[in-house]
Structure 1
């Protein structure tokens, strides 16, 4: 809450007060996302309806598939940055949802890239009345939900102290854990809680970099996947030092390896392991899955999205590892045995790109079959 009050709330309030600034900020964001290869994004916006419509318009024009969330928050915020009441917050969320959907009806189905998302910021800033109303709205209007869940010790303790139950139970009580829901972080969830999310078909946005800054626990990724929970990879953009999903992939592997190291050390200290214990680390291929097909499944994209198969939306990046004429590696990549017809691209070369590749290796991005980066010449 200290970070939110000192930085996030102030920035959001400023954007809400200046439509011109909002458009400039969001246009730069769109350019950065495409540069980083992000063609689909789930976004927390601000509390003002008009500002979020600007965000949606910018993403649509940029060719990015975006799920835009107008924040809902009626308590425990800055006096100048909070909605007047639960009812006014619900009215604004409903209006935003309908207005954004009406913007899309003017487009052909294949061109509709932007959708609204109901976004209670997190339990501490939302009254029970507001959460109950959003749960009903999600069901009636068939609209997605996103929020933050069990992210940090102070937040978890605050909810328990104020509501008398955990925040996962608060969301569940108000029908906000559904197949349409994605919860970010979830670092303080127990194994039974993860199993409950699987039962509810609720997805998780795993943001390893921001968790390293804001949570005293690491997300139990291996356990979540073992329980069958849908997990996609996120950057949390403002919650770390990078909006590049490649850094999120690398961070996910590093965090998981630290967890595995701690598990092994505990086993050595007590002289044995727990029954049925498994390696909790992931490898680079699994991280790549979380950033692509795993994210598509979590977002509920059309069947096959995030993979190459007939009938699936063509969402793809063009990655170049080396100059086809000279054989020299591109960007940070160096190859001393250049690929050739006799020696094609190897798995080791792909892993090298995963480890140290950057924006210089990305020469194209397509979303739903249309190239959006670099911007095609008319």
Structure 2
């Protein structure tokens, strides 16, 4: 572990504040463009009938009508609030964690906090709700019983599924947190898990079978234009399409696959080290006496691969997968569910190198975290030096 954690928190707080400012500022300069696909996603609502991804859009539509504020203004102010809460929550979430070199580099990965700002196409996307829900769920973990925690999960995750169906692939992270509450398996808990799982699958079944007809889509877009003076964005025009349409967009070539494998390896490398160097502490939980920590993390990672086979937004899938795995790891570390295996030779060697030679540490951080970032779509080339490009955009706008 590193000494002078207060100084580390101070510098990370500055980094978080900078990212929060950039998120709010960049969104403020682009939210009123009809080409902003992130805002267009939030516009999807139930004005033409029930449709997937429409829950929050309908919520915002009703608020807009009630308080007489333009719909786009309602959405962007909601996102400003979400940005602020998210970044503050991230800072508080890691503030009291004893950090080592591996945690620091994992936190600065270009697949984590900086990615949506480097790729502004992803700024303000709906996955923010998944991240915030998990952080909140982690905070409340120590204060609720298994039954109340499961009830809370149903209440907070159902709207998220109704806002974006992709959230189903990240539900296992919440279930594993629930399982940490189980010391003894009994019939009641088995039934609660079973019926809650059936409930979530039923929600997904409804969503999957709620493809909009072209008439309903036209009605929704017509109402959005007449009532709210808005236009349906790109996302809305996929609501009447089957999953085959998304699959047909995919066609990665060997060069695309190789580039994205490198993105995975370099972006995840220090998180992989953290997982590899960690082990469960002694636990009364029967489930985790059977499985080791690495196996649990593999189990959580596998569903996050599925979106890569469904849609072209591989940059987003990397960001969501990495964020959820890192948040889950930090949750386990913070709650002393896991500990480091400091006897590992690789851990000992790298820690010694970083401690003795700060040049190697800073060079590693710079090369791994600040020289590159993945683009939003799988077939695009890698972005370069995201911090420089962010600062250049700030200078241009300011």
- The answer to whether the superposition gives a TM-score over 0.5 is no
Q: Which has the higher strand share?
A: 1
Give the alignment's TM-score, normalised by structure 2.
Answer: 0.29
Relative contact order (alpha carbons < 8 A, sep ≥ 6): 1 or 2 greater? Answer: 2
Q: Which has the higher helix share?
A: 2
